[in-house]
């Protein structure tokens, strides 16, 4: 299918006060025995604490910074509040009373079939995409974004919270292409109207491109490229013009395709593909 188209280093011993006799600052001890100890940033090798938390699946780096500043994280039994703190081999990091460890980061691509919900848990015990990848790896992975129950196609899973947040953020303009099957032929005028932008209840959507699928016998098959992550956005675009989407397949996601990936099957991303995703934006 073708689609057209920075802070001063803290001083030891207390706060400086002026000393007119010597011309140099003197220091008064200001220690408070009831105050929690804090850990100063380590230098040299090691991994930044916010990244350690992100790799352990606690939160994204930005959210981890807030947890650190709030005093919710301890390093070797002492509260850490300074950003930039390094975790060295053998260090013990705890959050919420639990000792954390870095998990290997996993990146998995699924060719989702119809009839599965994109959620990590369903209270009504309906089939979810997690049923399809539950034996993929020991680490707990999560879907990045969503596809509605009856939409098929590419869905990414990872335990890399930082990358997941990036891929879902509108400013990174992650490219998605959908193969749309309609209940009737799409008129040229309606296609032009969609290309110029559609005003939906939650804002205007302007596709990056839209075209009839090359080689199709009719004009019911459409290729549409867009970067919006709004709920059911493709279906709502066509419903706005009186069409029903009878089949919807996401065939391209952030540079990834369905090549050699049958329906309901998954595969791990290559190192090259992971690096490509991390370079987006």
Q: For the chain, report the end-to-end CA distance as a whole number of angstroms.
A: 26
Q: Residues 153, 147: contact at Cβ < 8 Å?
A: yes
Tell me how far apart the alpha carbons of residues 157 and 143 are, in angstroms, rounded to a whole number.
4
Confirm whether 148 is a catalytic residue. Answer: yes
Q: H/E element holding 65?
A: helix 61-69
Tell me how far apart the alpha carbons of residues 275 and 260 are, in angstroms, rounded to a whole number.
20
Of the candidates 114, 106, 155, 74, the one whose C-alpha atom is nearest the C-alpha of residue 274 is 106
List the alpha helices (DSSP H) in 205-259.
Answer: 233-239
Tell me how far apart the alpha carbons of residues 78 and 232 are, in angstroms, rounded to a whole number.
47
Question: Which two tokens mark 104?
Answer: 């290997």
Q: For 22, which DSSP code?
A: T
Cα torsion angle, 124, 128, 130, 134, sign: positive
Tell me how far apart the alpha carbons of residues 42 and 188 are, in angstroms, rounded to a whole number.
63
Tell me how far apart the alpha carbons of residues 257 and 249 are, in angstroms, rounded to a whole number.
12
Say which of 122, 148, 183, 218 is annotated catalytic: 148
Q: H/E element holding 212?
A: strand 209-212
Active site residues: 148
């Amino acid at each position: 299918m073708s689609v057209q188209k920075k802070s001063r280093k803290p001083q030891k011993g207390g706060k400086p006060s002026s000393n007119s006799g010597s011309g140099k600052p003197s220091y008064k001890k200001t220690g408070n025995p009831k105050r929690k100890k804090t850990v100063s940033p380590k230098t040299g090798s090691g991994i930044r604490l916010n990244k350690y938390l992100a790799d352990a699946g606690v939160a994204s780096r930005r959210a981890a910074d807030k947890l650190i500043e709030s005093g919710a994280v301890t390093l070797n039994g002492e509260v850490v509040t300074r950003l930039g703190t390094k975790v060295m081999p053998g260090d013990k990091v705890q959050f919420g009373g639990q000792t954390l460890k870095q998990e290997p980061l996993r990146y998995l691509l699924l060719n989702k079939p119809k009839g599965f919900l994109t959620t990590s848990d369903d209270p009504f015990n309906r089939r979810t995409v997690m049923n399809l990848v539950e034996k993929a790896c020991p680490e707990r992975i999560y879907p990045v974004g969503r596809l509605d129950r009856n939409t098929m196609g590419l869905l990414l899973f990872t335990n890399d919270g930082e990358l997941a947040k990036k891929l879902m953020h509108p400013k990174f303009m992650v490219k998605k292409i959908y193969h749309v099957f309609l209940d009737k032929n799409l008129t040229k005028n309606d296609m032009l109207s969609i290309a110029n932008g559609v005003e939906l209840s939650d804002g205007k959507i302007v596709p990056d491109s839209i075209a009839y699928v090359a080689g199709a016998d009719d004009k019911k098959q459409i290729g549409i490229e867009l970067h919006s992550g709004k709920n059911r956005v493709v279906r709502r675009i066509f419903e706005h013009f009186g069409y029903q989407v009878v089949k919807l397949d996401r065939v391209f996601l952030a540079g990834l395709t369905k090549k050699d990936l049958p329906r309901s099957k998954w595969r791990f991303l290559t190192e090259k593909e992971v690096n490509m995703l991390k370079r987006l934006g």
